[in-house]
Amino acid sequence: MPARTAGPISQDWAPVVVHKRPVKAADARDPKAIAAAIRAGAEVQTVRKFDSGTNKKTGPSLNARKLDEEHEPAPLERVSSEIKHSIQKARLDKKLTQAQLAQLINERPQVVQEYESGKAIPSQQVLAKLERALGVKLRGKK
Query: pLDDT tens digit string along 8-36?
Result: 777 777 777 777 776 666 666 677 877 88
Give residue limits of the domains in the chain: 81-134
Separation CA 31–CA 64 (nearest Å)? 37
Decide: 141 and 90 in contact? Cβ < 8 Å. no
Listed as own residue / partner, the contacts of 88-97 with beta carbons closer than 8 Å and 24 or more positions apart are: 88/116, 90/134, 90/135, 90/136, 91/116, 91/134, 94/134
pLDDT class of 41 with cuts at 50, 70, 90: confident
pLDDT class of 90 with cuts at 50, 70, 90: very high
Residue 84 neighbours by CB distance under 10 Å? 19
pLDDT class of 139 with cuts at 50, 70, 90: confident
**81-134: CATH number:** 1.10.260.40
Q: What does the mean pLDDT of the chain come to?
A: 79
Of 76 and 71, the structure prediction assigns the larger pLDDT to 76
Of 57 and 10, the structure prediction assigns the larger pLDDT to 10
